[in-house]
């Protein structure tokens, strides 16, 4: 149901912009370029899945409060789940980073994808750090006592007091996950929008201007003078 002037509505404008930036088939695709055929490509989704387990186990810990795991066997097990999902998160995220570096995945207007990923990586380290601080055990005491020196030495400690348990708990459970969440969602949407970075062109193919556009099918009648980027009609 449309009436004249509907297209000028804010809702309609936002919807048009969103859909044109990221059409549903691109947001949730059912095809991917044939060059995406290596196990290195699964580490992004493994990081995301690990993060989800971190969040769920964190929610369970939050339900019963920060002292629960000291006094309950179940709580201690959930704490273990939270610890190991964090270890898996960093394990898979760093391998993902290595893979993306060696692929130079920032090529072709994908710089922002790399930037959001790198900032999310550093933000994750900060978030994990606040997690260590709110364990309310010997580790927390020692880490807080040491970390305060680093932060104080550059003036940050004046605002971010690692000895203030209440402040650190709220950073760990509310503030930093929010910031990380925004960064990671942005990062993933950028991957969908820009697509997975294509392979480096081989020297000879680059000169001919046809790198990557070939079909593997020997029967194909690909016109090898057509530049990459133009759709190829394939006969047969």
Partner 1 sequence: MPDHRGVLAALIPMDSPGPYLHWGVIQISVANLVVIVLMLLVFVLALFLRFPGRHDDGSQR
Partner 2 sequence: MKWRAKYRAAEARYAAPWAGAYRRYDIVKEFVVALVVVSLLTLGLAAVFGSPDRTAITLAEWATNAPNDFVATATSELAGSSGTATYGAPYVDDPTAGQKIGPLALQRWAGVTTPVDTATEFVLNPLATVPGDQGLTDALAQYKAATADQQQKWATAYGDALTAAPDNDPAKVTAGDYGPVPVLADRLLGYARSGGLDGQLLAAGSFYQTDYTRSVLFLADGTYLADQAAAAHLGGEQWGMMNETGRYPGQAWLWLYTFWYQVPPFTTKGSSWADSADAWIWGIMLVLSLVLILVPFIPGLRSLPRYLGVHKVIWRNHYRAAQPR
Site for partner 2 in 64-83 (CB under 8 A): 69-70, 76-77, 79-83
As a whole number of angstroms, the distance between CA 65 and CA 145 comes to 23
CA–CA dist 199, 53 (Å, integer):
32
Token match 């029967």: residue? 219
List all residues 6 or more positions away from 4 whose beta carbon is below 8 Å from its beta carbon. none
What is the Cα–Cα distance from 149 to 75, expressed in whole angstroms? 32
Q: Which of 64, 165, 179, 189 binds partner 2 (CB under 8 A)?
A: 165
The contact mask relative to partner 1 for 14-53 (x = CB under 8 A, - = no) is -----------------x--xx-xxxx-xx----------
**Of residues 175 and 234, the one with the C-beta less far from partner 1:** 234
**What b/e readout covers 27-60, taking b as 16+ CB neighbours within 10 angstroms?**
eeeeeeeeeeeeeebebbebbbebbebbeebbeb
Is residue 80 a contact point for partner 1 (CB under 8 A)?
yes
Asked if residue 225 lies in contact with residue 214, where contact means CB atoms within 8 angstroms, the answer is: no
Which residue in 154, 225, 235, 236 binds partner 2 (CB under 8 A)? 154
Tokens representing residue 187 in the block: 């990062």
Cα gap 184→139, rounded to integer Å: 29
Q: Which of residues 15-34 bind partner 2 (CB under 8 A)?
A: 28-34
Length of the chain: 236
Q: Name which of partner 2, partner 1, none residue 179 binds, using a CB cut-off of 5 to 8 Å depending on partner kind.
A: none
Structure tokens at 146: 């040491």
* 236-to-32, 34, 130, 212 alpha-carbon distances in Å: 22, 19, 60, 20
Partner whose footprint covers residue 74, from partner 2, partner 1, none (CB < 5 to 8 Å by kind): partner 1
Which residues in 204-223 contact partner 2 (CB under 8 A)?
A: 205-206, 209, 211-216, 218
229 binds partner 1 (CB under 8 A): no
Among 58, 96, 114, 183, binds partner 2 (CB under 8 A): 114
Q: Which is nearer to partner 1, 10 or 138 (CB)?
A: 138
Q: Which of residues 91-150 bind partner 1 (CB under 8 A)?
A: 91, 94-95, 98-99
Number of residues that bind partner 2 (CB under 8 A): 110
Judged by the rule CB under 8 A, the positions of this chain that interact with partner 1 are 31, 34-35, 37-40, 42-43, 72-77, 80, 87, 91, 94-95, 98-99, 215-217, 234
């Amino acid at each position: 149901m449309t009436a004249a002037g509907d297209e000028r509505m804010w809702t309609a404008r936002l919807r048009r912009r969103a859909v044109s930036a990221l059409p549903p088939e691109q947001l949730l695709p059912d095809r991917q370029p044939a060059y995406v055929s290596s196990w290195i490509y699964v580490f992004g989704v493994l990081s995301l899945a690990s993060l989800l387990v971190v969040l769920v186990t964190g929610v369970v810990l939050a339900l019963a409060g920060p002292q629960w795991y000291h006094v309950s066997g179940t709580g201690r097990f959930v704490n273990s789940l939270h610890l190991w999902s964090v270890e898996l998160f960093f394990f898979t995220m760093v391998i993902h980073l290595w893979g993306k570096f060696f692929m130079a995945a920032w090529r072709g207007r994908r710089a922002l994808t790399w930037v959001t990923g790198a900032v999310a990586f550093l933000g994750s380290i900060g978030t994990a750090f606040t997690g260590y601080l709110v364990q309310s055990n010997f580790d927390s005491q020692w880490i807080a006592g040491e970390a305060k020196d680093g932060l104080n030495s550059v003036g940050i400690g004046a605002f971010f007091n690692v000895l203030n348990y209440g402040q650190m708990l709220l950073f760990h459970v509310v503030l930093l996950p929010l910031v990380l969440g925004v960064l990671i969602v942005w990062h993933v949407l950028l991957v969908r929008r820009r697509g997975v970075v294509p392979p480096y062109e081989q020297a000879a193919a680059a000169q001919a201007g046809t790198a990557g556009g070939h079909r593997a099918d020997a029967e194909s009648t690909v016109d090898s003078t057509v530049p990459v980027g133009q759709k190829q009609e394939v006969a047969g």
